[in-house]
Amino acid sequence: MRTVEELEAEATAEIGAAARSAELRDLEIKYLGKSGLVTGVTRLIGALPAAEKPLFGQKVNEIKQRLQALIESRERELKSTEHASQFEAERIDVTMPGRLWRSGQQHVLQQAMNKIKAVLSGLGFQYHESPDLELAKYNFDALNYPKDHPAMDEQDTFWIDDERLLRTQATALQGRIFEVTKPPLRAFAIGRCFRNEAVDRTHSHTFHQVDAFMVDEGISMADLKGTLGHFARSMFGGEVKVRFRPDFFPFVEPGVDYAISSPKVFGGQWLELGGAGLIHPNILERYDIDTKRYSGFAFGLGVERIPMIAHGIEDLRPFLENDLRFLGQFHG
């Protein structure tokens, strides 16, 4: 029969020699378990004289505690080396490609349209749509086009029949709004437009236009310039300036084309964006709007111009060709 001291020395040696944490579990059972060796020694207590009993019990408990502590500390040691080798075995190459999620994306023109909607909404303009298949009444007549005016030359139109045509300009919304809304009003439309033109890098028979207009008391060319400045700065950032030049559109008087420039963004060049002006009083009068009290402005631009300027796209054609190698370049 070994003494408790011998038992402790033996257990201490074995714990110190354990190479894996699983061996420690076994040693814990062997010495400290319900029928473990140290536990077995405590049973001997009954055979001792009464005076020795407390001392022996205390001694065995101290041994148990020491062994328990020893097992735990040895376990911490072993775990840390075991983890180290496990982690080494589980090492991954973080430079391998990420597993791709399928993500959809908005068309580059849609991205421009969304931005336009956000900016004009912030300026108090309300968004409307009007049909692609438009009545000549709204596309031309309501917009102060005289019959046979040479300006119609520039708008060689896809007529469907005597009354209907494919909208040539998003401005066609104006008459529809004036029919049902009294000033003060601010409205805008984004729509697909069609003109009978040969397709090349800078021309297409199908394109998209924004048209925004407002009518209120005392609206001036300065309000137009300020609104366009704000719009252009919101779209392109930087210190964008606006330039007006005289131009002719039957629905505005004075009529201008407007260009923007910024020393930082466009290297000081003037980029023509679209046409604008004060809404022709003939149009306001047609809808019984008192031109003594109210005036209004309108401006339009091609949606395609926005990504062309922003991304340096030099060709109109890819916008409607649906090549994902093109569309995939513009995330949004």
Partner 1 sequence: MKLPYRMLLDFVETKLDASQTGDLLTMAGFELEELETVEGEPVLNVKVMSNRGDGLSAFGLAREVLAKEPHATPTILYERASARFAEAGAPPEGGEGLVTIETPDCCRYACLLFAGVANGDAPDWIKKRLRQAGMRPISLLVDLSNYVMLELGQPMHAFDLAKLEGGRIVVRGARKGEKLTTLDGVERELAPGQMMICDARRLVAAAGIMGGLDTEVSARTSQVLLESAHFDAGSVRRTRKQLGLSTEASYRFERSVDPEGVVAALNRFAQLLSESGSPASSSGLVDVYPGRHDPLSIELSLSQANRLLGMDIEPAQAKSYLENLGFQVSGDGEPLIETPPSWRPDVVRECDVIEELGRVHGYEKIPECLPHGATLQGGVFGLEARVDQVRDCIVRLGFSQLMSHSLRDLHPLDSGGTRVGPRHPSSPEMAYLRNSLLPCLADAAVRNEGSDLHLFEVGRVIAGGGDGPVEHRNVALLSVGALCPPNRQHEVAPQADFFSLKGALLEVAMTIGAALKLESPSTTDPRLHPTRQAMLSCCGKPIGVLGQIHPAIAETISLPESTVMAELDIDALCNAASDSATYRPISRNPAVRRDIAILIAKALPYEKVEKSIVAACGELLERHWLFDVYDGKGIPAGMHSLGLALQLRKFGGNLTDEEANQVREKAVAALAALGATPR
What's the rounded Cα separation, in Å, for the pair 56 and 35?
19
**Segment interacting with partner 1, rule: CB under 8 A, options 44-52, 65-73, 77-85, 225-233:** 225-233
Torsion over CA: 74, 77, 79, 82 (sign): negative
Rounded-to-integer distance, Cα 83 and Cα 87, Å: 6
Q: Which of residues 36-75 bind partner 1 (CB under 8 A)?
A: none
- Restricting to residues 195-224, name those near partner 1 by CB under 8 A: 196, 198, 205-206, 214, 216-223
Q: Does position 92 bind partner 1 by CB under 8 A?
A: no
Which of 5, 10, 26, 154 forms a contact with partner 1 (CB under 8 A)? 154
Residue 239 interacts with partner 1 (CB under 8 A)?
no
10 among the known binding-site residues? no
Exactly one of 38, 71, 166, 289 binds partner 1 (CB under 8 A); that residue is 166
Q: What does the alpha-carbon distance between residue 231 and residue 75 come to, in Å, rounded to a whole number?
A: 69
Measured between alpha carbons, how far is 147 from 208 in angstroms, rounded to an integer?
25
Query: Is residue 226 at the binding interface for partner 1, with CB under 8 A as the rule?
Result: yes
Q: Does 158 bind partner 1 (CB under 8 A)?
A: yes
Give yes or no for residue 102 binding partner 1 (CB under 8 A).
yes
Q: Using the rule CB under 8 A, is 94 a contact of partner 1?
A: no
Q: Residue 263 interacts with partner 1 (CB under 8 A)?
A: no
Torsions phi, psi for 172 (to 5 deg): -55, -15
Asked if residues 108 and 330 have their Cβ atoms less than 8 Å apart, the reply is yes
Name 263's bridge partners.
none
From 8-16, 20-28, 63-71, 100-108, give the range in contact with partner 1 by CB under 8 A. 100-108
Amino acid sitting at position 186: R
Q: Is 329 in the site for partner 1 (CB under 8 A)?
A: no
**Rule CB under 8 A: is residue 269 a binding residue for partner 1?**
no
**Which string of x and - marks every residue 285-324 that binds partner 1 (by CB under 8 A)?**
----------x-----------------------xxxxxx
227 lies in the site for partner 1, by CB under 8 A: yes
Q: Is 117 in the site for partner 1 (CB under 8 A)?
A: yes
Q: Does 142 help bind partner 1 (rule: CB under 8 A)?
A: no
Q: Which of 73, 126, 202, 269 binds partner 1 (CB under 8 A)?
A: 126
- Name the residue among 158, 164, 230 with its Cα closest to residue 194: 158
All residues at 6 or more sequence positions from 89 whose CB lies less than 8 Å from its CB, including other chains: none
Should residue 127 be labelled a site residue for partner 1 when binding is judged by CB under 8 A?
yes
127 vs 101: CA distance, rounded Å: 34
Is residue 266 a contact residue for partner 1 (CB under 8 A)? no
Nearer to partner 1, 59 or 192 (CB): 192
Q: Which stretch binds partner 1 (CB under 8 A): 21-29, 59-67, 79-87, 114-122?
A: 114-122
Closest C-alpha among 283, 287, 216, 290 to residue 253 = 283
Q: Which CB sits closer to partner 1, 15 or 276?
A: 276
Residue 200's contacts (CB-CB under 8 Å, 6 or more residues apart) are none
Is residue 280 within 8 A of residue 70, CB to CB? The reply is no
Torsion angle in degrees (nearest 10) through CA of 173, 272, 120, 158: 20
Tell me: does residue 33 bind partner 1 (CB under 8 A): no
The phi, psi pair for 36, rounded to 5°, reads -75, 170
DSSP character at residue 96: S
Binding-site residues for Mg(2+), in ranges, read 253
